[in-house]
Every structure is written in C-alpha cells, then in structure tokens.
Amino acid sequence: MPVDISSRIVRHEALNPDHFLLTLEAPPIARAARAGQFVMLQVREGYDPLLRRPMSLYRVLPGRRGRIQILYKVVGEGTRHLSRQPVGTSLKTLGPLGNGFALSAPASRAGGAGRAPARPLLVAGGVGIAIFPFLVEALRARRRRPTLLFGARTRRDLVALDFFRRRRVPVHLATEDGSAGSRGFVTRLLEPLLRPAEAAAGTAGTAGTELYVCGPTPMMRAVREQALAAGVPCQLALESQMPCGIGVCLGCVVRCREDEDSPVFQRVCTEGPIFDALRVIL
C-alpha cells in the first residue's frame, strides 16, 4: 500500500555533472516496493515547481533502516532544484506507485517460452538505467541471470556500471559517439541476440529470452519492433508527464491496443509504468 511520507536525504552523490544518486530514509516505501515501481518526489518546497516528479526506485538498500535510492539526471528546473538539496533535508515522497515488472514472462507468451530457461535481457537507454538495479536483485533472488545492454550518448552517461559488474551481470555497452563500447544505438547490441538459433550459429536463439526495456521513447519504439519481430516477450518501462501519479488526473495516458476490458488510453502511473510491448502503441 503506497504512502505519502516526508523522507530525509541521507546521501546525495553526484555521479557526474548531471547524474545524481539520492538516498532517502523511507521505511514504509522500502518495505512495500517492487522492482519497476516509482515514487512521486517533491523536488523543493513551495510552488516552483508546483508538481512532484516521478522517479523510479533505483534500489532498496538491504538492512532495517528502510533506505531507498533514486538515480536521476538533471534535464530541467525540477531536477536541477533537486540536485541542490543538501543531506538532512526532508522531501515529500509518495509511493511505491505503479505496477512494477512482471517477473515471469507475460502470461500471453508463457505457453511458448515457458519451459526454456529464462534469459532476461535488460535494455537500457541513458538514464533509463535507473530502473534496473532493483530488477537485477529481484531476478537474482529468483536465480535468473540477467544480461545488460546499455546504450548512451557518450561514455560519461554510462553511470552505475559498478553495480552490475560487482554482481557479475554481463554488460554490453554502446555509445552514439563510440567513446565506449560499440558505436551506435543499443538496438545494434540487441539485434544478434534476437536471431533465431538456426540462423545464428553459436547463439542460443531466442528460447527463454525476455526483454526488460527502459529508455527514451524513440529507443523503446525501436526495441519494441525488434521484440515483436523476434516474437520474444518484452516489457517496456514508459515515461510520461505525471501530475498526480495515483491515477486520478488522467494526464499520463498512453495509447494502447483496444480490447474488451481496456480502454484505448491507459494511465502510465497506474496500469503502468511497465507495459507489455504487445499492448502499448508508441
């Protein structure tokens, strides 16, 4: 059950000039949180900005102190104000919100890939990486071995790699400027891994492969196409402008395929932020 609490900043670390790792004391949120969920975070007091900002749960730290972490990038005024908040400040924090990732392949495809050993591929674009550490811990707790494909504009934006390396998560990198990993988009890294076994000698094929994707919309659109083409299950972590985060303003909707029991617009904050690639229209 989500709560709205005032949570103290216990750590606030700059990973580079525009990426920050925030640690908050928020026991009730830490207890209830699932991978893929988010919080609505007040960035500073007063009416500028008026609305809270949605932020994924980067991690729930082990231990009894109920600490949660958020990894964010400064993209505008709100995140800039947030980045100036000193340790000790308390910020209103509402959560955990949203559906979170489905940790077994979506029912729709369970039949197809059910028996094969699960091969979770995490596909991150830019600050979309922020949603995956929590997921990695959840998957490992289920004895799954995720692989990370991480694309960014340039080397500097490849943050949080230590987290994955320390846990021996295989990491494949791509940067648009080629400053690290292979040059180009993350989709290039994904391509070979989605080739059917027979066609791709030496690859395991797509049996058991499931995609977890978070990044800028154009990147998610592309990955979605690849996944649908390869017929592998794919969960997309969507973003949208979120005034309330709790399903009441109807502001955050995304277009979805029509069917009896779901309207054509679904709320990213409530029916999402995690959507099955088969359902959402980007």
Kindly list the residues in this chain that would bind another protein in the complex (CB under 8 A). Answer: 1-4, 42, 47-52, 92, 94, 240-241, 243-244, 246-255, 263-265
* 3-class secondary-structure state, position 48: coil
Shortest Cβ 247–ligand FAD spacing (Å): 13
51 binds, among ligand FAD, another protein, a second copy, none (CB under 5 to 8 A by kind): another protein
Strands 234-237 and 274-276: antiparallel
Question: Residue 86 interacts with a second copy (CB under 8 A)?
Answer: yes
CA angle 153, 186, 103 (to 5 degrees): 120
Identify residues 41-70 at the interface with a second copy (CB under 8 A).
45-48
8 binds, among ligand FES, a second copy, another protein, none (CB under 5 to 8 A by kind): none
The owner of tokens 């580079």 is: 16
* 3-class secondary-structure state, position 192: helix
Do the beta carbons of residue 135 and residue 101 sit within 8 Å? yes
Cβ closest to a second copy, residue 43 vs residue 193: 43
Chain contacts with ligand FES (rule: CB under 6 A): 242-245, 247-252, 267, 269
Structure tokens at 264: 């054509």
Residue 154, CA distances (Å) to 15, 58, 66, 127 in order = 14, 21, 34, 12
Question: Residue 12 interacts with a second copy (CB under 8 A)?
Answer: no
Cβ closest to ligand FES, residue 214 vs residue 268: 268
Cβ closest to ligand FAD, residue 124 vs residue 230: 124
